[in-house]
Amino acid sequence: METVCNLSEKSCAPCEGGTPPISREQIDRLLPSLDGWGQTGGEISKTFQFRNYYETMAFVNALAWISHRENHHPDLEVGYRTCRVRYSTHAIGGLSENDFICAAKIERNLLNV
């Protein structure tokens, strides 16, 4: 079984149209390794809570750095003390391993921001 550690050590691979989304079985295998992440409607998401706006923005900026390095970008909903992160692979119209890799990188590297 993949773990956050295993996933976070991988790098995203380019996805092109015509590549199928990962299967329900793959989603069910990968999702339990991501604490607090849920899956609905072809995406995975989690809402992170912070003490103040500064911590929220520090998290968003660190997440942007990871996204840039992996060339895989989430949809974000940013509030004063919250940030909802939603991953899906738009080019294939569903979830790819890249979504889980980036979520794992957040879990492993950004929770103490």
Average pLDDT for the chain: 90
The pLDDT tens digits of the residues spanning 40-62 come to: 989 999 999 999 999 999 999 99
Q: Residue range 2-14: average pLDDT?
A: 74
CA angle 66, 72, 78 (to 5 degrees): 70
- Measuring CA to CA, which residue among 14, 32, 33 is closest to residue 108? 33
The H or E element that residue 27 is part of is: helix 24-30
In the chain, pLDDT over 90 holds for what percent of residues? 73
The tokens describing 90, both together, are 């738009």
| Spatial separation of the C-alpha atoms in residues 35 and 57, rounded to whole Å | 21
Predicted pLDDT at 1: 54
Predicted pLDDT at 75: 97
pLDDT at 4 over 60: no
- For the four alpha carbons of 89, 33, 47 and 61, in that order, the dihedral sign comes to negative
The domains of the chain, with CATH numbers, are 21-109 (3.30.1360.20)
The pLDDT tens digits of the residues spanning 22-45 come to: 999 999 999 999 999 999 989 999
* pTM for this model (two decimals): 0.89
